[in-house]
Amino acid sequence: MSEQPAPVPTPGSTLPAAPLPGPAGTPEDAPAASPLPSDLAAALKRDSAGLVAAVVQQFDTNEVLMLGWMDDEALHRTMTTGRVTFYSRSRQEYWRKGDTSGHVQWVKSVAMDCDGDALLVRVDQVGAACHTGTRTCFDGRDLAVTTGQAL
């Protein structure tokens, strides 16, 4: 995860008393200006960058497509536009899936897990979900494991 450098005061200026707005400076509590309903904003448990993991799943096959990150604004856009929006940790900006690739994710539902620290976004995926061109970000990336068996 990218870290922002600490602000340095210039002559005649002071540092802000509270964290700067936006994902990099958002505390785990709901931002004061969250666009989300207050009960949802209060229930979300964000990481130190103000982000929540969003697992994206194909709605009709249950195929896990990818993992992205959302802050309150990205989640709000996802819930109100019908298209999935993420917050890019590397570029420090919002991106709507499919705007450049054409591989759109149409929102079917959004759920929060029991701890409030992860989201499940069920979508109708058009084309590849992964930036590498594969259907999912997990295709062909299996790790060697020892498998178990239920008794």
Residues 19 and 27: their CA atoms lie apart, in Å, by 7
Q: Which positions make up the binding site for Zn(2+)?
A: 114, 130, 137
Structural contact between residues 69 and 81, judged by C-beta atoms closer than 8 angstroms:
no
Amino acid at position 88, single letter: S
Strands 93-96 and 85-88 turn out to be antiparallel
**How is residue 25 annotated by DSSP?**
G
Q: Which positions make up the binding site for Mg(2+)?
A: 113, 115, 117
Which 3 state secondary structure label does DSSP give 51? Answer: coil
Show the DSSP H helices in 51-104 as ranges. Answer: 72-81
Q: Which positions make up the binding site?
A: 113-115, 117, 130, 137
Residues 62 and 81: their CA atoms lie apart, in Å, by 22
